[in-house]
């Protein structure tokens, strides 16, 4: 009797895991839903700092992005990805201010900035330090 109950539980778990809501880890699952016209494609340092301590301020509404044929890219925006998400730097600054307020009595620097520098450094160093043992 116990064996039947265990097998029933295992069957239920397997059927749940193989349902359409399961995460496709190997890339061989059903193709993703079609992209809508509102989907935005962007790289690092646009929604949150990944490789640098600052976010892109190269807004899509700037003249060199709206009409690149007639407006040269200013030097400060060269190589900077286009920022389609608005002022995400303010979001990040508010995030950091929350850390300062909680852990440093409102003072900048200290453990909050050290942790962020470590996180950004890890984002840059960890991929190149990985070794494939397969």
Residue with tokens 């807004």: 59
DSSP 130: -
Q: Which residues contact 32 (CB under 8 A, 6 or more apart)?
A: none
DSSP secondary structure string for all residues of 29-87: SSPPPPPPTT-----TTSSS-SSSSS---EETTSHHHH-TTTSPPPGGGTTPPEETT--
Q: Which residues contact 30 (CB under 8 A, 6 or more apart)?
A: 20, 24
Dihedral-angle region of residue 73 (phi above 0 means left; psi in -120 to 50 means alpha; beta otherwise): beta
Inform me whether the pLDDT recorded for 1 exceeds 80: no
Inform me whether the pLDDT recorded for 75 exceeds 90: yes
Helix (H) or strand (E) segment spanning residue 110: helix 110-129
* pLDDT tens readout for residues 21-69: 444 545 555 555 555 666 777 778 888 998 888 899 999 999 999 999 9
Q: How many CB atoms lie within 10 A of CB 56?
A: 22
pLDDT score recorded for residue 97 = 93
pLDDT score recorded for residue 106 = 77
């Amino acid at each position: 009797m116990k064996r039947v109950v265990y097998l029933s539980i295992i069957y239920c778990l397997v059927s749940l895991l193989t349902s359409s809501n399961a995460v496709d880890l190997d890339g061989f699952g059903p193709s993703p839903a079609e992209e809508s016209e509102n989907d935005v494609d962007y790289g690092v340092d646009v929604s949150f700092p990944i490789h640098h301590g600052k976010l892109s301020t190269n807004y899509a509404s700037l003249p060199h992005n709206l009409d690149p044929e007639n407006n040269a890219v200013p030097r400060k925006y060269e190589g900077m990805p286009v920022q389609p998400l608005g002022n995400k730097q303010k979001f990040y600054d508010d995030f950091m201010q929350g850390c300062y307020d909680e852990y440093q009595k409102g003072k900048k620097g200290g453990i909050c900035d050290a942790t962020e520098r470590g996180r950004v450094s890890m984002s840059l160093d960890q991929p190149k330090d990985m070794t494939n043992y397969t």
